[in-house]
Structure 1
Amino acid sequence: MSTKSTSKNPLLLSLLALIAGGAIGYGVGMKVEQNSSAPSLQACQQQLQSQTDQLQHSTEQYQALVTKNEQQQQQLTQATTELATMTALAEKQKKDFAKQLASLAQKKQQLSVSQQKLEVTKKKLNTEVVKLKTTTNKQQVVIDKSQQYFKRQAEMKANVEATQAQIVELTKTTKGFKKTCDEFKSGNSWNWVSQKDCDNYEQQLGLLKTQQATLVSQQQALTAINKEIGNKEISKK
């Protein structure tokens, strides 16, 4: 039996002292009564043995209680250690969770700022797209008009060139009819001439003048178109 166990059970010490005192008392009594009565001595011995057996039984019970108490104490110590470990782990998890929450809040704030910047950028891009579309439409209008002007210019140049070619041919024809008409009017031509030659001359001369007037009109129109195209080119610069 350990000192630690004995100190926790003063009742057992008292019990042992009481039994020991009884044993001593009976021993003294035996000595007094040895000469008087033998059955009384035997009875005392039996009683002492019974008390010794009871003491042994009580001691065994006490030892069992001490052992059980030590086991419970070990279990309590182990449970306390496990509880401390679990508490420390819970505190660590709590701190980690708090850090995660703080990090999540920071990321959420950063995401909010990024979304705001994205909205601003989106609005700017939308504005730029509108401007670009407007500019593109204007440029397309200018291009379409320019194409129309260049088409008219090409057509007018072709008309001028065609009229000039017609004037060249009419000039040659008119000169021929004028020569025969002059011979007819002189009255001494050896060629076969008549008033019809003069009529043809007048007709060709009229056509020539008409084409010349047409050429002047076409050239003026071409000049106006060239001027307009020149102004468009200057405005682009």
Structure 2
Amino acid sequence: MKNPSQQNYISQVSIDCVIFGYHERQLKVLIPKLNFKGDFWALPAGFVYQDEDIDRAAKRILQERTSIKDIYLEQFHVFGNASRNNKAFLDQLIANNPHIVVSKNDNQREYEWFTQRFISIGYYALVDINKVIPQKIDLDHSIEWYNVHSLPPMIMDHSEIVAKALTALRTDLNEKINAFNLLPEKFTMKEVQELYETIFDRPFVRTNFQKMILELNVLERLEKKFTGAANKAPYLYRFKVKDDIG
């Protein structure tokens, strides 16, 4: 495998992806654990080729980690503090893994390439968790879903990136009406309310919430979801395609 410094990447620019999924009233984030001795968890990340659009690079990275081609994603923040670099993390990694030799050869050049200041472009993705097949890359020991409120200790500023992504998602929900990307194709109004309550971490009054959602005119009502009690069976809905929203 070619070292990143030897590939045609834009230097000192990276992409960090926060992949949100939803399951059993929990908002989750897909996070790999790095394949080194010690506890090192990091967001799915990657670099941008010189001739590649930034959004296309993000989609490439996300598809590599989820096996999904059509992914809803939003660019939400650029992380560019002057002190932002990988040096402290890499030094700790080497201290825990002395077999990683750093000398005046390709390893040294690679170390120097990674320890430069990096500007990271943050994207969040919303996926139907049931469609995702998490994929490890060479650097990963494992890749798992974690509750957004119970994350493992993350390297560098990756916990801050997740927190900013969650804030951005909450801000975007009403304007971009994107929460439905976390649900399966068909869902009940109760499931929509539970999703919103999970994202905002607070309850909503059922009647007010249902009125608010229906007034958005973005849902198509389908058949009832029969559960054995026909008179109490809730309706199923699905999100309208864009051409049908008006």
TM class by shorter-chain length? under 0.3
Q: TM-score, normalised on structure 2?
A: 0.17
Structure number with the higher strand fraction is: 2
RCO comparison, higher one (Cα < 8 Å, 6+): 2
Q: TM-score, normalised on structure 1?
A: 0.18
Structure number with the higher helix fraction is: 1
